């Protein structure tokens, strides 16, 4: 059994005054150091390509969504946030969403919908702010979910890059 050796304190240590002085000097120098506060609404939150923000639907240059309302994201969503109804279209793709709603109050930003999509139609943008006055307004429909491709390009490139490795 090893005995705990307690070092004998010197007189200066026992008085504690030099330690107090040392502590005070440390805090004083810290006062003049740089502060690390982020002034939030003025300074936005930093996001990178890896950041999973809210899901958004890709709108192609011809104005139509890439989404074909296949329902895979609805099935993959672990929070049951997505509701989809499909309809016929004359375009060769045959199928497009009539109603595509994501209840943002249920969405957990997991990105499963992005992984499940076979048409590269939904991506996790870098939009993170979500605040409104009543529950109904936070169920986002097609109009609120569509974004032009360039707005999502950073995320699209990142996802394509990691999928190359598969």
Partner 1 sequence: MNTILVWLIKVLIIYGGLLGTAALMTLAERKVSAWIQHRKGPNRVGPCGILQPLADGVKLFFKEEVLPAGANRLLFRFAPALTALPAMMTVAVIPFGGELELFGITTKLSIADLDIGVLYILAVGGLGIYGIILGGWASNSKYSLLGGLRASAQMVSYELSMILAIVAVIAVTGSLDLREIAQAQAAFTDWNIWRQPLACGLFVVTMFAETNRHPFDFAECEPELVGGFHTEYSSMKFGLYFLGEYSAMVVMACLATTLFLGGWSVPFVPEAHWLLGLAAFMAKTACFLFLYIWVRWTLPRLRFDQLMGLGWKVMLPLALLNLFITGALLSLTGA
Partner 2 sequence: MTIITVNGREVEADPARPLIDACHDNGAHVPHYCYHRGLSPVGSCRICQVVVSQGDMPPRVVAACRTPVAKGMVVNTEAEAAHGARKECLEFILKNHPLDCPICDKAGECSLQDNAYAEGQSECRSVEPRRELAKRKSLGDVIVLDQERCILCSRCVRFMEEVPQTPQLAIVGRGTHSRVETWQDQPLSGNYQGNLSDVCPVGALTLKDFRFQARVWNLRKSASTCPECSRGCSVTVEVLRDGPVKRIRPRHNEAVNGYWMCDEGRLGFHEREQRPRLAAALLAGASGLETASASRVIEVCADLISAAERPLLLASPFITDEEAELLKQLSASCGARAAVVIRDTESADADTILRTGDPSPNRRGLTEAGLEALSPAAAAAALGEADCALLLGERSAELVGFEALCALPVKLRLVLLDSYAPEGEIPALNACLGIPDWTERPGTWTNIDGHKGQLLPARPAPNGTRPLTATLRVLASILAESGTPTAADIAEEATR
| Binding range to partner 1, per CB under 8 A, among 18-26, 44-52, 81-89, 154-162 | 18-26
- 110's CB contacts (< 8 A; 6+ apart) are 52, 78, 79
Please check whether residue 81 is in contact with residue 103, taking contact to mean a CB–CB distance below 8 angstroms. yes
Is 88 near partner 2 (CB under 8 A)?
A: yes
| Binding range to partner 2, per CB under 8 A, among 69-77, 122-130, 131-139, 150-158 | 69-77
Phi, psi (deg, nearest 5) at residue 2: -85, 135
Kindly identify the residues of this chain, within the stretch 65-124, that bind partner 1 according to CB under 8 A.
none
Q: What burial letters (b/e) apply to 129-158, b meaning 16+ CB within 10 Å?
A: eeeeeeeeebebebebbbeeeebbebbbeb
Is 166 near partner 2 (CB under 8 A)?
A: no
Phi, psi (deg, nearest 5) at residue 47: -125, 150
Is 72 near partner 2 (CB under 8 A)?
A: yes
**Which of partner 2, partner 1, none interacts with 69 (beta carbon under 5 to 8 A by kind)?**
partner 2
Is 74 near partner 2 (CB under 8 A)?
A: yes
Alpha carbon of residue 82 to chain centroid: 17
Rank residues 40 and 133 by Cβ distance to partner 1 and give the closer one.
Answer: 40
| CA–CA dist 166, 163 (Å, integer) | 5
Binding site for partner 1 (CB under 8 A): 20, 23-24, 26-28, 30-37
Binding site for partner 2 (CB under 8 A): 68-72, 74-75, 84-88, 92-95, 118-119
């Amino acid at each position: 059994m090893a005995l705990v050796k307690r070092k004998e304190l010197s007189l200066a240590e026992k008085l504690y005054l030099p330690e107090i002085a040392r502590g005070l000097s440390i805090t004083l120098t810290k006062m003049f150091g740089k502060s690390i506060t982020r002034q939030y609404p003025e300074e936005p939150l930093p996001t990178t390509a890896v950041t999973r923000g809210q899901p958004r639907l890709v709108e192609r240059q011809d104005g139509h969504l890439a989404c074909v309302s296949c329902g895979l994201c609805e099935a993959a969503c672990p929070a049951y946030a997505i509701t989809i109804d499909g309809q016929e279209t004359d375009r060769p793709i045959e199928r497009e969403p009539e109603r595509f709603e994501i209840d943002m109050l249920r969405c957990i930003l997991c990105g499963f919908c992005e992984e499940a999509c076979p048409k590269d139609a939904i991506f996790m943008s870098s939009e993170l702010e979500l605040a409104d006055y009543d529950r109904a307004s936070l169920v986002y429909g097609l109009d609120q979910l569509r974004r032009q491709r360039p707005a999502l390009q950073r995320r699209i490139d990142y996802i394509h890059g990691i999928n190359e490795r598969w």
